[in-house]
């Protein structure tokens, strides 16, 4: 089954404790991205990757890091989480760059930073 998986689905942590949210897709997609969703703000792009070893900042990259060492994986790293990073996070992937492909979303990760 074609899917995007994220782990963990729910996470409660404390300020400053480094964490990683994993994202994996089994569709051999080149394009992957991370979004955060906050009430009244919709989804905002954090980082995206056009291919292995190619990453770029989205609209709200501050406080986040990503890596793309393999095509299927695109982890999101919070080196020193802060309460304002409490949010619902989505990983997404799509097959190419023609502009017509839909993005497939993971199930979301709810993060609470105390």
By CB under 8 A, tell whether 31 contacts another protein. Answer: yes
Is residue 53 at the binding interface for another protein, with CB under 8 A as the rule? Answer: no
DSSP state of 109: E
Q: Is 69 near another protein (CB under 8 A)? A: no
Taking a C-beta distance cutoff of 8 angstroms, is the pair 26, 2 a contact?
yes
Residue 16 CB, nearest approach to another protein (Å)? 27
Mark residues 83-102: x for contact with another protein by CB under 8 A, - for none: -----x-x-x----x-xx-x
Work out whether 77 is an interface residue with another protein (CB under 8 A).
no
Q: What is the C-alpha separation between 44 and 19, in angstroms, rounded? A: 20
Pick the binder of another protein from 50, 52, 77, 112 (CB under 8 A): 50
Assigned token pair, 29: 């997609």
Number of residues lying near another protein (CB under 8 A):
27
**Rounded CA separation 43/90 (Å):** 9
H helices of the chain, in order, are none
Q: 56-69 burial, b if ≥16 CB within 10 A, otherwise e?
A: eebebbeebebebe
Residues lying near another protein in the complex (CB under 8 A): 31, 33, 35, 40-45, 48, 50, 56, 58-59, 88, 90, 92, 97, 99-100, 102-105, 107-108, 110
């Amino acid at each position: 089954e074609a899917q995007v998986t994220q782990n963990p689905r729910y996470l409660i942590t404390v300020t400053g404790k480094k964490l990683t949210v994993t994202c994996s897709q089994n569709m051999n997609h080149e394009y992957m991205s991370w979004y955060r969703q906050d009430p009244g703000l919709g989804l905002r792009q954090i980082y995206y990757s056009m291919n292995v070893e190619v990453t770029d900042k989205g609209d709200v990259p501050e406080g986040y890091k990503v890596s793309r060492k393999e095509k299927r994986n695109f982890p999101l790293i919070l080196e020193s989480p802060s309460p304002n990073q409490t949010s619902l996070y989505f990983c997404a992937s799509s097959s190419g760059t023609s502009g017509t492909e839909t993005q497939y979303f993971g199930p979301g990760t709810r993060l609470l930073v105390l």
